Amino acid sequence: MALNKVVANAEEAIRGIEDNMTVMFGGFGLSGIPENSIVALRKNGAKGLTCISNNAGVDGFGLGVLLETRQVKKMISSYVGENEEFERQMLSGELEVDLIPQGTLAERCRAAGAGIPAFYTPAGYGTEVALGKEVRWFNGKPHLLEQAFDASFAFVKAWKGDTAGNLVYKGTSRNFNHAMSMAGKVTVAEVEELVEVGELDPNEIHTPGIFIQRIYKGERFEKRIEQRTVRKKEA
């Protein structure tokens, strides 16, 4: 019999969150972000968080709401260009920022999920990314030693999920969600649709429930477009 991992709501899903924890968030831009969990974390009020995410949301939405309340001490990201409050805090020295190559970010997540403590990559050699890191040469090229992430919680978002935690993502919202679901000590999944075990086609499951500790149906999802680009109307 499959375990039932369903919790009632976002507030119950984030229990155990404390000050100064390291937490990761799935999503790319505003696609596939665990927005209900983020709002619950804002209400929880935990401070001094180190947040691992591809980006930092936008002003007033996504991780931007945690930046507004000064709950984030450090951001580990690969792209942060759409958030004015993030920029202000970084330039003023209020926020510690670790910018890393996007591929390295993905591999540090995957390595954590696979039980690999560290790996070598050529990305970032010769830049500030390499400062303080061990360098070894392979096939005539320099590589940096990168550490797998160590996160207490991972918050992810899926399109569908079942009560045992099996997840299906939709389109580009798969992005970092699968890798991060494997990497957290406790992984919390919020879904748009929650079904019973057996209702998902096994061939379409992207993240097996073994990686998920808690799952809940989100109350609301806002389908924002981060950058709307359209062609000019032809004359």
Distance CA(91)–CA(84), nearest Å, equals 11
SS3 label, residue 104: helix
CATH topology of domain 10-117+149-217: Glutaconate Coenzyme A-transferase (3.40.1080)
The rounded distance, in Å, linking the Cα atoms of 143 and 147 is: 13
CA gap 161, 14 in Å, rounded: 18
Q: Say whether 82 sits in a helix, a strand or coil.
A: coil
Digitized pLDDT (tens) for each residue of the chain, 235 residues in all: 568 999 999 999 999 999 999 999 999 989 999 999 999 999 999 999 999 999 999 998 999 999 999 999 999 999 887 889 999 999 999 999 999 999 999 999 999 999 999 999 999 999 999 999 999 999 999 999 999 999 999 999 999 999 999 999 999 999 999 999 999 999 999 999 999 999 999 999 999 999 999 999 998 777 766 677 788 877 6
The pTM is what? Answer: 0.91
Distance, CA of 157 to CA of 178 (rounded, Å): 9
Return the half-sphere exposure (C-beta side, CA atoms, 13 A cut-off) of residue 169: 23
